[in-house]
Amino acid sequence: MTSKKLVNSVAGCADDALAGLVACNPNLQLLQGHRVALRSDLDSLKGRVALLSGGGSGHEPAHAGFIGKGMLTGVIAGAVFTSPAVGSILAAIRAVAQAGTVGTLLIVKNYTGDRLNFGLAREQARAEGIPVEMVVIGDDSAFTVLKKAGRRGLCGTVLIHKVAGALAEAGVGLEEIAKQVNVVAKAMGTLGVSLSSCSVPGSKPTFELSADEVELGLGIHGEAGVRRIKMATADEIVKLMLDHMTNTTNASHVPVQPGSSVVMMVNNLGGLSFLELGIIADATVRSLEGRGVKIARALVGTFMSALEMPGISLTLLLVDEPLLKLIDAETTAAAWPNVAAVSITGRKRSRVAPAEPQEAPDSTAAGGSASKRMALVLERVCSTLLGLEEHLNALDRAAGDGDCGTTHSRAARAIQEWLKEGPPPASPAQLLSKLSVLLLEKMGGSSGALYGLFLTAAAQPLKAKTSLPAWSAAMDAGLEAMQKYGKAAPGDRTMLDSLWAAGQELQAWKSPGADLLQVLTKAVKSAEAAAEATKNMEAGAGRASYISSARLEQPDPGAVAAAAILRAILEVLQS
């Protein structure tokens, strides 16, 4: 079965992709009648060397993304994974020569078709009197024994674009640029690994892997690698790759050793998530620095892809200060990353977090009776939530991901562990503030955030007073914060329904002579009734709001949990 691709036609996809790039980049122009993109300011290159590269399409942003001042003058593209036509290569050479350049350097990846077609175009151009040189880049470090065809050209070619571009921009001559980039090419290596294959538009995947396998040392055209290995962690795979690349018994190794200074390039082969790319980058930095290697620059992103292949390649280039200046030189190429000219190794990567604000002494802790009462309340709440874990999970399966009970139990266990460390603060404001931090850190999910918001806001009115009116105001403040940030309202089938119903009853605490337990009893009963009523509501917030109301036949688990917490508090105060 062929893979799905967002294309207009298989035959025209390379043309359409190049046209789209040029349409959105005013610094580029197409060469009429050819699949060629050139700098739109060609006339400004008079008296300098032009740089042309290219190859099959499907490796974007290579190579057209690297056209610009300080990098390539132009690119010749073939069909997907197919070398460009000789006629188009020759047309590009003629175009840059016509603009007054003093010679053209062809930068070619080491593949048979590219070598032949670029080589033939070079010979034809030279026959016309146009000075043209060609460098063939092979940076593949996969094969332990050198092949007759040489090392394949991979992502390291992009670094050659950068070095050659900086030299050309500085006015260096054609032969000298060719000489210098040939030296640089021998000081680098690249190795790829992939979780699966890719597929050319209109075709099936180029190879298949088992669910527990990855391909090591593969090329950028979907061709198989040197061996298959079992799936492992990012750290383990990066270590394996670097071991292979730097093994001196490997004929294509990179001579990196402790004390070496390198440019590190982590390249997305097309289908890897940015999350995974960051993890691989971190693993590579740690592994290299653990070997005593200095990372002068780190380039992370998509530079040379293989369509949608979910994999990465690592490139290491040995550098000294003169070479590093060429890497750092200015460029306007759209796909080159804006990297600070600062060494990665030795840079301070973290800053000390600000200290927590100092709390005022807990003036209400005298005698410890209030603190003991707080502990009893919390213990009862925890045991209640732990007992409800399976029931809440069952309620949540209809409208969520079935973990409401697990989330509340996680909070309960965190509170129990916290209580083992010592008595809780007797000050209500301090207690609520500490519980807020604890739940935000340990409970997780939206419930943890909502309870954290509620408790943080509720603590504020209790800093000055702890009277019944202050407790009522605390409830009001907590509910307001939940509504403001949670975007829920009473009737939306959430935990807010229970808390809101209780809060309305607690308004009675603001009246002189209000009875604590009498009012709280009414509040708990109202909360329980509100929780039960949520089974007849259409969800207006949370995950349940995306579920058909026909499937919501049970009470909201968050509302049930909130009512149960209030019931537990009441039971302790009544005893």
pLDDT at 366: 41
Residue 130 has which token pair? Answer: 């146009």
pLDDT at 550: 43
Task: Check the annotation: does 515 bind a ligand.
Answer: no
Catalytic-residue membership of 34: no
pLDDT at 536: 83
List of the chain residues with pLDDT < 50:
364-367, 543-544, 546-548, 550-551
Task: Check the annotation: does 446 bind a ligand.
Answer: yes
What distance in Å separates the CA atoms of residue 295 and residue 424, rounded to the nearest whole number? 49
Task: Check the annotation: does 495 bind a ligand.
Answer: yes
Element (H, E) at 325: helix 321-328
Q: What is the pTM of this model?
A: 0.80
Residues of the chain with CATH 3.40.50.10440: 13-328
Task: Check the annotation: does 422 bind a ligand.
Answer: no
The single-letter code of the amino acid at 175 is E
From the candidates 34, 63, 161, 221, give the one annotated as an active-site residue: 221
Q: How many CB atoms lie within 10 A of CB 286?
A: 13
Task: Check the annotation: does 557 bind a ligand.
Answer: yes
Task: Check the annotation: does 131 bind a ligand.
Answer: no
Task: Check the annotation: does 486 bind a ligand.
Answer: yes
Task: Check the annotation: does 56 bind a ligand.
Answer: yes
What does the angle CA 219 – CA 220 – CA 226 come to, to the nearest 5 degrees?
A: 15
Burial of 290 (0-12, 13-18, 19+ CB in 10 A): exposed
H-state helical runs in 195-233: none
pLDDT at 539: 58
Task: Check the annotation: does 401 bind a ligand.
Answer: yes
Task: Check the annotation: does 396 bind a ligand.
Answer: no
What distance in Å separates the CA atoms of residue 456 and residue 563, rounded to the nearest whole number? 19
Phi, psi (degrees; rounded to nearest 5) at 37: -115, 135
What distance in Å separates the CA atoms of residue 115 and residue 190, rounded to the nearest whole number? 20
**Per-residue exposure over 354-379, b if at least 16 CB sit within 10 Å of its own CB, e if not:** eeeeeeeebebbeeeebbeebbebbb
Task: Check the annotation: does 556 bind a ligand.
Answer: yes
* DSSP annotation string for 472-536: HHHHHHHHHHHHHHH---TTSSSHHHHHHHHHHHHGGGGSTT--HHHHHHHHHHHHHHHHHHGGG
How many residues does the structure list for the chain?
A: 575
Phi, psi (degrees; rounded to nearest 5) at 515: -95, 125
Task: Check the annotation: does 549 bind a ligand.
Answer: no
For domain 13-328, is the CATH number 3.40.50.10440?
yes
Give the CATH superfamily of 369-574. Answer: DhaL domain (1.25.40.340)
3-state secondary structure of 56: strand
